[in-house]
Structure 1
Amino acid sequence: MLPNRMNLTRTTEEQLKKLKGYTGVTPNVSARIAFFRSIESDFRYQGQEAKLDGSLVLDKYTWLGETSDVTELMLKMYYPELDTKEYQQAWAAHVEDGIASIRTHKSCQEFSRSL
């Protein structure tokens, strides 16, 4: 469903990298957290295509880890009509939405308390 190689917008990627600098949490792990924070907040992808121009192009398993099945099932449940490219857009939109709620944490302890 999701492609094997994925990336995010440059802005989202920069926020993930900045969060890593403050907390030590890697971009792939913080992207997983951001995705599920977005799902919990009732954000819904509206079909707006974003330019996924980030330089951090990782394989699906690295981005999603053990959450890959759940992530894909959530996307399929919320957006049953999308194709592979649109699923990547939806995933990226959810990560972008979710990072907004966690990008300002300045330490790992502060970050973990917010979860």
Structure 2
Amino acid sequence: MLPNRMQLTRKTEDQLKRLKTMTGVTPNISARLAFYRSIESGFRYQINERKLDGSLVLEKSVWLGELEGITELLLKFTYPELNSKEMMNAWAAHVEDGIASLRNHKSLLNFIDSI
């Protein structure tokens, strides 16, 4: 479903790195939280040629962890018509959407209170 190596936009990646600096939460964990927050909010990916230009190119097992299967099934259920590359773009769009509500936290306690 999703390709084995995945990346995000540079903007999203920078927000994840900033969040790590402020809270200590690693980018892969905050990306998972952002993805599910976006799904819960009702955001839906509109197909476009989004340039995934971030420098963090990680294995999907690192990005998704133990939620890999659930995340892939959720994406497949939500977007049954997308191919593997488009599915990665949808995942990246959801992470970008979800990180908007998480990116400004200044401490771990503040971050935890928001989720």
TM range (shorter): over 0.9
| Cα displacement string for residues 51-91 of structure 1 (whole angstroms, at most 9, x for unaligned residues) | 00000000000000011111001100110000000000000
- 4+ aligned runs moved over 2 Å, structure 1: none
- Letter aligned with residue 17 of structure 2: K
Distance (whole Å) between structure 1 residues aligned to residue 12 and residue 104 of structure 2: 13
The equivalent residue for 1:98 is: 98
Q: How high is the sequence identity, in percent, across the aligned residues? A: 69
| Cα-Cα RMSD | 0.4
1:28 to partner: Cα distance: 0.3
Unmatched 5+ residue regions in structure 2? none
TM-score under structure 2 length normalisation: 0.99
Q: Does 2:59 align with 1:55?
A: no
The equivalent residue for 2:111 is: 111
Unmatched 5+ residue regions in structure 1? none
Distance (whole Å) between structure 2 residues aligned to residue 63 and residue 13 of structure 1: 12
Distance (whole Å) between structure 2 residues aligned to residue 64 and residue 99 of structure 1: 15
